[in-house]
Structure 1
Amino acid sequence: MPIELLTPFTKVELETTEKTTNRRQVGILGGNFNPVHNAHLVVADQVRQQLGLDAVYLMPEYQPPHVDKKETIDETHRLEMLKRAIAGVEGLGIETIELERQGISYTYDTMKLLTEKNPETDYYFIIGGDMVEYLPKWHRIDELVNLVQFVGVQRPRYKAGTSYPVIWVDVPLMDISSSMVRDFIKKGRTPNYLLPHEVLDYIEEEGLYR
């Protein structure tokens, strides 16, 4: 998979998606997914296709390692919405290691366990452009960059740059957030076309976010 990466700021140029290694290439898209929405899915699918990955797994976190604690719903709901969102979609899956471990979800700890468990797999950790500038503050970041290849995805209103090695991938910019979806529902507005209808049906069935 020839990739031209002139500087850490350069967007990736893919000449071909032909495999040049027998190792498995897997993307990880972590998040709270409260709820999962269409921008999450577009990012996961486009990164998989453009980098020629075998799969991209959406990885729901149990407890975000943020200073400002975010309220979330029970992980059983978030996991069920993810299952419904990707049902039948080629190349997308779910990684539940952080829900199984519980506690604070530090990316370094998680990826260390995954790489030890799957030594034949190369991991590509996908982050939004808004998160790239915070990489220096990530837990054990200098060790983490040796475990995974970071993949950056541009987001509206964010101009990203970093000294860390990041492969940039262009995807359609969709200014959708989970907080937007929750706010729509709280105000009695139906967030049609912002998330899969299977997820919206589940939210209505369970009376979530009201």
Structure 2
Amino acid sequence: MKPTELSSPLKAVALYGGSFDPVHCAHLHVARSALEHLQLDQVIFIPAAQSPLKTNTTTASDAQRIEMLRLATAEESRFAVDTSEIERGGTSYTIDTVRAFCSKQPDTQLYWIIGADQFELLPKWHQIEEIARRLTFAVLRRPGHTIATSAVPGLKYIAIEAPLMAHSSSGIRVRLAAGRTTEDLLPASVEAFISSHGLYTQ
């Protein structure tokens, strides 16, 4: 008689998309909160080439954004960086990323980290019903935004608490352009990279 084979538990992974221009401390706090709250094996940061719902363009190059992410995540073994959206180029549709990931790792419990402000826009996402079938949204609470059942059939979500931090990538770019300090807003390695490459100074 063969010994009974115990099936291993599903790997739990959260995908975290964004421009990350630049990645800052709030991004990392959000990812750590997701790791703890959802008991994840990994959070994968995915820098976008161009968001379909945003008209602004990035100001650091793709290579620079990727390098800043790698520097920022280097000390956490459960953080990873995926560059597939940048490699595909053009508009970054979440469905393409989700399909690719599900194809590579089919036996994974998949989450997508999103703010409550973006959660309200889910009905506008390209092929959102398929995305909803494939994963669970990890929704970050935001002041002024409620997390209510979306008008998307079959959508699954979990609200997670994360530190509310006032700064944003756009605000940090403004501070850097004005020569103001970004102490405690950026990981030291990212701050050094920005300084050495003269980013966001104009």
> Does TM-score exceed 0.5, indicating one fold?
yes
Identity %: 40
For the 8 Å contact 1:132–1:162, the answer to whether it is kept is no
Using the TM superposition, give the Cα deviation of residue 155 of structure 1 relative to its aligned residue in structure 2, in angstroms. Answer: 2.4
Residue from 184, 188, 196 that aligns with 1:193 = 184
Report the residue type matching 2:40 in the other structure. Answer: L
Using the TM superposition, give the Cα deviation of residue 23 of structure 1 relative to its aligned residue in structure 2, in angstroms. Answer: 1.5
Residue 162 of structure 2 corresponds to 171
SS of the residue aligned with 1:116? Answer: helix
RMSD: 1.5
SS of the residue aligned with 1:145? Answer: helix
Cα distance in 2 for residues equivalent to 1:156 and 1:192: 24
More deviation, 59-68/116-125: 59-68
1:141 and 2:128 are equivalent in the alignment: yes
Deviating 4+ runs (over 4 angstroms): none
SS of the residue aligned with 1:76? Answer: helix
Residue from 77, 81, 87 that aligns with 1:94 = 81
Cα distance in 2 for residues equivalent to 1:116 and 1:186: 42
Residue 203 of structure 1 corresponds to 194
Residue 51 of structure 1 corresponds to 38
Residue 15 of structure 1 corresponds to none
Report the residue type matching 2:118 in the other structure. Answer: M
Task: Provide the aligned length of Structure 1 versus Structure 2.
Answer: 191
Cα distance in 2 for residues equivalent to 1:21 and 1:72: 44
Cα distance in 1 for residues equivalent to 2:157 and 2:167: 23
* Uncovered stretches (5+) of structure 2, i.e. residues with no partner: 1-6
What is the 5 A alignment of 1:47-86?
47-66=34-53, 68-86=55-73
Report the residue type matching 1:170 in the other structure. Answer: E
User: Structure 1 pair 75/67, CA: closer, same or farther in 2 (3 Å)?
Assistant: closer
For the 8 Å contact 1:45–1:92, the answer to whether it is kept is no
Cα distance in 2 for residues equivalent to 1:47 and 1:69: 27
For the 8 Å contact 2:21–2:58, the answer to whether it is kept is no
Residue from 102, 106, 118 that aligns with 1:115 = 102
Using the TM superposition, give the Cα deviation of residue 153 of structure 1 relative to its aligned residue in structure 2, in angstroms. Answer: 0.6
Q: TM-score, normalised by structure 1?
A: 0.86
Cα distance in 1 for residues equivalent to 2:110 and 2:83: 15
For the 8 Å contact 1:155–1:174, the answer to whether it is kept is no
Kindly provide the CA deviation profile for residues 140-175 of structure 1, in whole angstroms up to 9, marking residues without a partner as x.
111110111111011244333232421101111112
Task: Name which one, 1 or 2, has greater alpha-carbon Rg.
Answer: 2
Report the residue type matching 1:207 in the other structure. Answer: G
